[in-house]
Amino acid sequence: MELALFLIFGGLAVLAGLNLLLQRHPIHSALSLVVVMMSLAVLYWSLGAEFLAAAQVIVYSGAIMVLFTFVIMLLNAGEEERTTGSRAAYLAGFPGAAAIFCLLTFVFLSERKALGASPLGGYLDNSVNNITEISTTLFTRLLLPFEVTSILILVAILGAVVLARKEH
């Protein structure tokens, strides 16, 4: 079940990421990014990181993408024009991407035990409830930075609206 979930949502994340790069319209790219972020949330949930999955949906797929689409619509960005690109980028990009892919595959396959796989083929059992630990830390020791960050984000959004406003 876990392998099927990983293959489905991992493949969906990769395909949506490719769609993000290949789209001409910025709104369609932003919607592809939402699919990538939701797929990542499912992958986090399947790994047992429930808080991270919920934060991925609420913060990134919700708030950040709403902000992205608001900025795209505010700038009234149309379709982009395609260029032929740089020949050097094509010559170095494909072998470079293949080398990085091979290196990451080697690291993941050779360090499987260190990355969380148990010798029996399952995942290691986490007996600590991560939501309780994170919320206790966030709302006790880190309460002031948490609130200051929310005020800074609010000021940044208001500043962007004031700067983007057209005067008649």
CATH code of residue 44: 1.20.120.1200
Instruction: Kindly report the pTM of this predicted structure.
Output: 0.56
Q: Which of 77, 102, 137 is the C-terminal boundary of a domain? A: 77
The answer as to whether 104 is a domain residue is no
Closest CA to 44 of 36, 35, 53: 53
pLDDT of amino acid 39: 93
pLDDT of amino acid 114: 55
Radius of gyration of the chain from Cα atoms?
A: 21
The answer as to whether 35 is a domain residue is yes
């962007």: which residue's tokens? 160
Tell me which residues of the chain have a pLDDT lower than 50. 117-123
Q: Are residues 136 and 69 in the same domain?
A: no
Instruction: Give the structural domain span for 16.
Output: 1-77
Q: Are residues 1 and 73 in the same domain?
A: yes
The answer as to whether 84 is a domain residue is no
Distance CA 163, CA 65 (A): 20
pLDDT of amino acid 82: 67
Number of domains in the chain: 2
Q: Which of 77, 101, 116 is the C-terminal boundary of a domain? A: 77
Q: How many CB atoms lie within 10 A of CB 41?
A: 21
